[in-house]
Structure 1
Amino acid sequence: MSTAIDLGAFLRTRRARLRPEDVALPDYGGRRRVAGLRREEIAQLAGVSVDYYIRMEQGRVRPSPAVLDALARALRLDEDETRHLHRLAQPRPTARHAPRPRPEQQQVRPMLRLLLEELRDVPAMVMGRRMDILAWNTAACALLGDYASLKPAERNIPRITFLDPASRHLYADWTACARENVAYLRLEAGRYPDDPQLTSLIGELSLKSEDFRRWWAEHPVQDKTSGTKRFHHPVVGDLALTYETLRAADDPSQALITYAAAPGTSSHDALRMLLAWAAPTATTAPHTTVGGRRGHEG
């Protein structure tokens, strides 16, 4: 993936979503040839020349952190988008002609595996690079599906979300979940622009999913943190669960994702019922298979 090309596309999509009134600029009327703000307007807001901004969009200059911060303010970028902009504009240097290191298979951190074993009543999984599913507990199988029935290469959140039709039935708002996956993959692409497995995943999803291809072109950027997901579960019906993403400070490439429901709610009762239904066929091992459905996670 070319960070120079991605930088230009990212800047253009962010210009396109702004209007003059959003940034306190006068709008003299008339039809604009392009959506959103013009290049000269962004240059004015960021305090740089129009020529310099054009060369930034073309990937022909390496702006300073101060210029990037000014540009982020001009484009009204949030924290995730601002960090992404810095990564695209100032990629890590690599030795010319140096062979690419063969990517190593991620191993689950021992403490995360221990937490999975302890969280018997909380659906939980460990997500690695590229949103790969590295490990899960029995409760996660009951809620999201049988990851053990998938080949290791298929245990990937966006691949399941976009390519398994059952995921569209599991999530009450599949579109929101799917778009979040695209936005997080964009973040990963900025972090690891030379990851061949990530490039292959993006190519596969672009080829096989029109939705993914369309949303990827919008250059969304969003980290995976916390929120609420609503499910249409085939066993217990509707649930609204809060998810949290927990990362170790010394290894942010792995995250523990948990799902829980507030006590006293119908979702809490439904989740307890689901875990009781799964219990007769489950063990406490973090890779146990429960049920015959394919795995899903958004």
Structure 2
Amino acid sequence: RNPSTAVVNALADALSLDPAERTHLRYLAKITGGACPHHVRPTPPSREVRPAVRETLRLLEPGIAAVTNRLGDVLAHTPGYAAVLGAAGLLDHPAPNLTRYVFTDPRARTLFPDWDDIADEQAFDLWLGPSVENSEWLSTELAPVAGPEFTRRLANQLVPRRGPLRLHHPTGPELRLHRETLEFPADAQQLLVLLPADPETATHLTRLTRPAGPHLRAIS
């Protein structure tokens, strides 16, 4: 029987293996368990955002909002989202993914003062991904590079407490934001809107998100 991903990850954590060693261990587990080492990636979830959802997002400008899925893919966003979260590198990748950013980009620990809480949330949300196959694929892909901080959280099925989001913006201000989420079950997507949680944050956001140029940017 092929060892489960969780068992292989736990063994790699216990042995403090580096990324290359983790990849080799997973390969050995597959071939000794009779699995094909070149398994086929499942069909990725759609990155298309419906026109009505795009229009809703546009109406929220210059606010901080984005269309995402539970894997952490950022599918479309307002300029305000880019000004606040993109300033620390979240949107640098052509296909930005918040889960990957949190666990593999050192800048995430500065952007999120409550990094442990955010990491718990992102790992938990993989259980709610568009499909089990896509969640498992992303988990397997991240495990070698993210290490124990990621793999130990995969076994935690307790619902994380989601309080106000604290951000330390690269320009200096600390922001406190309430999160409001509108689910689109048929699309396996959600609209995330970030709102100021105090007057100081509202003042900073006015400066950071002042419109200057083109509007909605979609990511394909």
| Helix, strand or coil at the partner of 2:66 | strand
Counterpart contact for 1:182–1:220, Cα < 8 Å = no
Asked if 1:201 corresponds to 2:132, the answer is no
Alpha carbons of structure 1 residues 255 and 112: separation in structure 2 relative to 1, 3 Å: same
Distance in 1 separating the partners of 2:145 and 2:117: 19
Matched residues in 2 for 1:251 and 1:136: separation? Answer: 20
- What are the residue-to-residue correspondences of 1:149-228 with 2, within 5 Å? 149-152=92-95, 155-188=96-129, 192-193=131-132, 195=133, 197-209=134-146, 210-217=148-155, 219-222=156-159, 227-228=163-164
The total of aligned residue pairs comes to 181
Percent identical residues: 29
SS in structure 2 at match of 1:176: helix
The 2-side partners of 1:285 and 1:198 are apart by 28
Tell me the CA shift for residue 215 of structure 1: 1.6
Match for 2:202: what amino acid? H
Deviation, structure 1 residue 116: 1.5
* 1:260 is the counterpart of 2:191: no
Distance across 2 between alignment mates of 1:213 and 1:101: 21
Correspondence 1:233 to 2:180: no
Counterpart code for 1:167? A
Task: State the partner residue of 1:121.
Answer: 62
- One-letter amino acid matched to 1:198: S
TM-score under structure 2 length normalisation: 0.71
**Cα distance in structure 1, aligned partners of 2:112 and 2:120:** 13
Relative to structure 1, is the Cα distance of residues 284 and 254 closer, same or farther in structure 2, using a 3 angstrom cutoff? same
User: Which of 202, 212, 215 is matched with 1:284 structurally?
Assistant: 215
Coordinate RMSD, CA, aligned: 3.0
Residue in structure 1 matched with residue 203 of structure 2 by the alignment = 269
Change (3 A) 1:147 1:230: closer
Partner of 1:76: none
Unmatched 5+ residue regions in structure 1?
10-98, 289-298
Paired residues of 2:75 and 2:218 also in contact (CA < 8 A)? no
Distance 1:104 1:241 in 2: 28
Residue 216 of structure 1: how far off its partner (Å): 1.6
Q: Between the two structures, name the one with larger relative contact order (CA 8 Å, sep ≥ 6).
A: 2
Distance in 2 between the 1:283 and 1:230 partners?
27
Answer with 1 or 2: which has the greater Rg.
Answer: 1
Deviations along 1:79-116, whole A, 9 cap, x unmatched?
xxxxxxxxxxxxxxxxxxxx997445331122211112
How many Å apart are 1:148 and its aligned residue?
5.4
Contact 2:112 2:168 in 1 (8 A): yes
The offset of 1:252, in angstroms, is 5.7
Q: Partners in 2 of 1:266 and 1:206 — Cα distance? A: 38
Unaligned runs of 5+ in 2: 8-39
Contact map agreement 2:90 2:101 (CA 8 A) in 1: no
> Compared with structure 1, are the counterparts of its residues 223 and 127 closer, same or farther at alpha carbon in structure 2 (3 Å cutoff)?
farther
Q: Would you say the 8 A contact 2:90–2:97 is kept in 1? A: no
Classify 1:227/1:181 alpha carbon distance in 2 versus 1 (closer, same or farther; 3 Å). Answer: same
